[in-house]
Structure 1
């Protein structure tokens, strides 16, 4: 049997569908819990509906990026695995790298060499096992976060907010810095033309994203345009992607 027939077979859809269903159930339970907590806090229906609407709109842009990653996994490890992995913990970049590391262990270059049964198994196991640590850490540390937060903030909610914002800024700054510095790093190492082109395109996408988001936020704040604030992230991601692809 062809390996992609195995990867896209009914047993794989069933096996991968079970965890996705669990994720959906978890999301529904969290949404219900958040809605109930909002009512207890005295939030009105209008405010909660507006928050849900804003969240749904904001998620469109990142979802399109995830969809593009799923399409790349679709042709390498099959639809079921790509659908499952990007519906759970993980990221587009991580899943592609993990799958490539798995197949390379048995001498198969992902996306270049023909996929074999052994390479498919190694790709799936690598993607799954490499994310187990996140699940274990969150399972055993989630109930201790309140104590850690209290120690860090010493009861001051403003301190906790500052720490959280600095952490988010630091994470995104590190991600952007890696893309901006990569072209120059590749030049020093005299990388291949394809790798250089990819590095420059990534850098361009980062810069375009920053410029577009800055312009949209400035206009939205000055003109007090509510819908533009909600759609800013989606417009930024799509705009940066499209312009980069055309260059």
Structure 2
């Protein structure tokens, strides 16, 4: 395994990983410039709303980033820093990458049997497994606007309802699976997943109550997701 990790953390691997991350950063900057130019040309929203949306989007990524970082630390110990950076920097799902690494390496990642050829196999499985996200974005993004316009014509309120309930349904379904599969139906019964879910939900309720009593603390709502993720992680870790 030591030989494998020496290869995985080789300076050449770091250079290649940083090139990939640099490409993502450049693409983000280009996308921002195009979007900003489109807003100015069409006057769809004001510059103040653009800044507000950017701020909310930035803050909204901080909470989930804590969870990704926690899993990524464990992934670094298994497959090295460069490959972890390259994969998580593109897809952002450290949990998926850990599963893919284990499948690709035949379950040897992080063990004394982790040979260099297993590192190569793990890298291929992680890359091909995560390609689905990129393929969907490539072929589906163009059609989203058309679908949105069609839905708006049928019922203008539909998009609003979808924006409101879709994130709730997605996160609830993911949390439900964690509670059932890793809590209730686990070989060793644990309340950690359920407690983490409750802690996250309670943190959001508390933030809303604070803001309702004191409107000057409205900024707390922007950080609600971050508070929820951190609270869930702390409680889940303590009770694990």
Distance 2:205 2:39 in 1: 31
Any conservation in 2 of the 1:90–1:131 contact (CA below 8 Å)? no
From 100, 103, 107, the equivalent of 2:102 is 100
Equivalence for 1:86: 88
Equivalence for 2:33: 32
Q: 1:243 to 1:120 in 2, by over 3 A?
A: same
Q: 1:164 to 1:54 in 2, by over 3 A?
A: closer
Any conservation in 1 of the 2:200–2:227 contact (CA below 8 Å)? no
Superposition RMSD in Å: 2.2
Gaps of 5+ in 1: none
Gaps of 5+ in 2: none
Q: 1:55 to 1:149 in 2, by over 3 A?
A: closer
Equivalence for 1:243: 235
From 211, 221, 238, the equivalent of 1:229 is 221
Any conservation in 1 of the 2:79–2:109 contact (CA below 8 Å)? no
Distance 1:201 1:2 in 2: 37
Q: How far 1:45 sits from its partner (Å)? A: 4.0
Q: When the two structures are aligned, how many residues end up with a matched partner?
A: 235
Distance 1:240 1:173 in 2: 14
Q: How far 1:44 sits from its partner (Å)? A: 4.2
Distance 1:178 1:130 in 2: 21
- Greater relative CO (CA pairs within 8 A, separation 6+): 2
Q: 1:233 to 1:14 in 2, by over 3 A?
A: same
Distance 1:222 1:244 in 2: 29
Distance 1:90 1:235 in 2: 20
What's the TM-score once normalised by structure 1's chain length? Answer: 0.85
Q: How far 1:210 sits from its partner (Å)? A: 0.9
Distance 2:100 2:140 in 1: 25
Paired residues for 1:161-240 under 5 Å: 161-182=160-181, 183-186=183-186, 191=187, 193=188, 196-197=189-190, 200-224=191-215, 225-240=217-232
Any conservation in 1 of the 2:75–2:84 contact (CA below 8 Å)? yes
Distance 1:207 1:109 in 2: 35
Which region of structure 1 is more displaced relative to structure 2, 36-45 or 20-29?
36-45
What's the TM-score once normalised by structure 2's chain length? Answer: 0.87
Q: Deviation digits for residues 71-93 of structure 1, max 9, x if unmatched? A: 11111111011111111124122
Q: How far 1:160 sits from its partner (Å)? A: 2.1
Equivalence for 2:125: 126
Q: 1:138 to 1:172 in 2, by over 3 A?
A: same
Distance 2:11 2:36 in 1: 37
Any conservation in 1 of the 2:67–2:233 contact (CA below 8 Å)? no
